[in-house]
Amino acid sequence: MTDVLIVTLGTSPEPIINCITSLRPDRVVFLCSLESHKLIDPVRSKVPLPDFDQERDVVVLQQRLAGKQNAAMLNELDQLDRVYLRALDIFERVRSENRGCRIIADYTGGTKTMTTGLAMAAIDDGAVRLHLTISDRSRGQSALSGYSSPAAVCTAMIHARRLRERELPALLKRHDYEAARQAVRRVQSLHDQDAETTQWLQRLEALLVGLDAWDRFDHRRALEVLESLNDRRLDQPLLFPLKRVIGSRRILDKEAEEQNWPRIKGHGLEAVEDLLRNAERRAGQERYDDAVGRLYRALELTEQLLLKIAVTDKVGADGIETGAVDLDRLPAAIQPDWRRKAAAANVGERGKAMKIGLADGFDLLADLGHPTGLEWRQMRSDLVNAIKTRNDSLFAHGFRPVDYSGWRQLSELLGGFLLAAIQRQSAQHGGQSAPGGAIPQFPATLDELIPGT
């Protein structure tokens, strides 16, 4: 690996000479003023710089000297932002010229503005290793004298605090767990972490990985990651609700049922609650088409689950699967109407299964006397019209994007209908007495994610 050292030049060449001698970089780039530029030759006379290129490796900051004032010349030496940006430009150029190189920045020499600008740029870059050449200063002298050696500057605590106080709050507020995980990984890659911070970052990353998996409906992966933390404090806020969502999912998901994913049995509509919380997160990110798509799926999942588990007294213990409705199992009183519907759909042969969609599913619930089906029948016109907003979106069958207004209208109507269905189903199973209670929204602050942080 090529090592490139970037140094600021001040009033004495000795610290720079000692730094180069100690680190033995493959290339050195000097950041200097017009006055300190003259120190480059003394440095080169003491240490070998075989790859040195005057045009490429010397960056001179603009300076207005006394008696030679030029109003058009920018005095970069006194402008922190200019030095900072110059340093970032140097990092970028060096990386393009030396692919895969390691950059070391030593901010020992130079003016306060020069050293501060280089140090700030190195910290913000994250991958640049920051050094300071240290030596005892002789009494009455401001410059370093005698032997000095470069020492690595610990920046991990700075990055950890920035992560905690600046980056994570905004990302968690948006429920952007993958971006938050990447930010954590960047800080984890620093080599000078203390043990406590390292442990905190590892736990934080695991939580973010688990929540991101859950956010993508990878419930099994989420459970594996969260359980690996072996922390009982996660039971009530995360693990119990997740296992109840899995329990609801297993009612319809044959793979999850066959593989016996760990679960807690609840009222059965927890997977719908999970979708509603997910829709809220997408809306919070202003991804309204995604949010509406999840509302529609929650509506569809509600009728699928209720037909499977909530009308068994009318159709038998196995319930009804919307993808294969056995008309012979329906109550005799409603069979004629449903056979006519089947005939219209060209599946009228006696004993042949019928596949039904969302509206027909709720209509069947109504015919079977289920309260949610009866409410659907009362609200059918409004609900069907609301669904057209989803159908007209690009994610469904049209090209019209869903805006905040469209999301709000759908959320109030469809969301209200679904919440009522969940509450009725929950009441029939002892309210929210199941472990974990209602399916909660994901943590939106660091303190919610790791209490006491």
- Tokens (6 digits) for 280: 């809220």
147 lies in the same domain as 162: no
Domain-located, residue 327: no
- Does 342 map to a domain? no
Task: Give whole-number Cα distances, 177 to 120, 169, 172, 183, 273, in Å.
Answer: 27, 11, 7, 10, 20
Q: Tell me the sheet residues that pair with 198.
A: none
Q: Is residue 332 part of a domain?
A: no
- Phi/psi at 164 (nearest 5 deg)? -65, -40
Whether 107 and 194 share a structural domain = no
Question: Can you give the pLDDT at residue 400?
Answer: 75
Give the integer Cα–Cα distance in Å for 371 and 368.
9
Q: Are residues 373 and 408 in the same domain?
A: yes
Which pLDDT does position 434 carry in this prediction?
55
Q: How far apart are the first and last CA of the chain?
A: 39
Distance CA 277, CA 283 (A): 10
Q: Confirm whether 335 is domain-assigned.
A: no
pLDDT at 153: 87
Does a structural domain hold residue 349? no
| CATH code for the domain in which residue 54 is found | 3.40.50.10770
Tokens describing residue 252: 């319809």
Same domain for 139 and 200? Answer: no
Contact 143, 11 (CB under 8 A): yes
In a domain, 344, yes or no: no
233 with 191, same domain? yes
The tokens describing 423, both together, are 């509450």
Using CA atoms, how far apart are residues 292 and 300, in angstroms rounded to an integer?
12
How high is the mean pLDDT in each 10-residue block of the chain (453 residues)?
93 90 95 91 92 93 62 72 95 96 94 94 93 65 58 88 95 97 92 86 97 98 97 94 97 96 96 97 95 94 98 95 93 94 71 84 97 96 84 67 88 95 90 67 95 76
Determine the Cα–Cα distance for residues 370 and 431; give it in Å rounded to an integer.
18
The pLDDT, as a whole number, for residue 395 is 63
Please give the pLDDT value at position 68. Answer: 54
8 A C-beta contact, residue 137 and residue 144: yes
Distance between CA atoms of residues 208 and 210, nearest Å: 5
Q: What is the pLDDT of residue 140?
A: 47
| Other Cβ atoms closer than 10 A to 88 | 18
- The verdict on 123 and 66 lying in the same domain is yes
Tokens representing 177 are 């767990």
pTM surpassing 0.75?
A: yes
Torsion of CA 210, 211, 213, 214, to 10 degrees: 120
Domain assignment of residue 282, yes or no: yes
User: Do 210 and 83 fall within a single domain?
Assistant: no
Asked if 275 and 379 sit in the same domain, the reply is yes
In this structure, are 34 and 46 located in the same domain?
Answer: yes
Residue 306 domain boundaries: 271-322+357-427
Specify whether 416 is located in the same domain as 362: yes
Of 153, 176, 202, which marks where a domain is finished? 153
Same domain, 276 and 423: yes
Domain assignment of residue 328, yes or no: no
Q: What is the pLDDT of residue 304?
A: 98
Pair 46, 163 in one domain? no
Measured in residues, the chain has a length of 453
In 3-state terms, what secondary structure has residue 78? helix
* Count of domains observed in the chain: 3
The encoded tokens of residue 287 equal: 């991804």
Tokens of 97: 């010229």
pLDDT of residue 431: 62
